[in-house]
Amino acid sequence: MDIEIGQRVKKLRKETKIDQREMAERFGLSLRAYQNREQGEKSYPVGELVVLADLFNVSVEYLITGKEGDSDLTAEEQRLLRGWRKIGEEDKKFIQGIITDALLELAEKD
């Protein structure tokens, strides 16, 4: 299971363009100690999982199981929803306008 957690953390880390050295510094670890966690050779302490979940905007459950609760949303959809909840109303209106325009364009193509 530690290998699977490490693989998910690695994937999320790469998606956010954070290198291993920066991650090690965030947790006060040597580079090798961080690499051991990501490779599944050492377990992530619970506190680190909470920090990682917040950093990558996912749930601790996702880091551990690869699944997001009982929702019918995918992990990516839930990640986007959590991000949506963190932005201001003005930004939401701007993004809604972009999405509405894109959906209208797609509808016209059909």
pLDDT value of residue 71 = 66
pLDDT value of residue 11 = 93
pLDDT in tens, 61-82: 889 988 776 567 777 887 788 8
Query: Which structure tokens are listed for 24?
Result: 């090690």
Q: CA 102 to CA 108: how far, in whole Å?
A: 10
pLDDT in tens, 1-40: 678 999 999 999 999 999 999 999 999 999 999 999 999 9
Q: CA 71 to CA 68: how far, in whole Å?
A: 7
In this prediction the pTM is: 0.64
pLDDT value of residue 109 = 85
Mean pLDDT in residue range 38-61: 92
Q: Is the pLDDT of residue 95 over 70?
A: yes
Structural domain spans, the chain: 1-67, 71-110
Mean pLDDT in residue range 45-70: 87
pLDDT value of residue 67 = 79
Q: CA 3 to CA 37: how far, in whole Å?
A: 8
Mean pLDDT in residue range 41-67: 90
Is 1-67 a domain of CATH 1.10.1240.10?
no
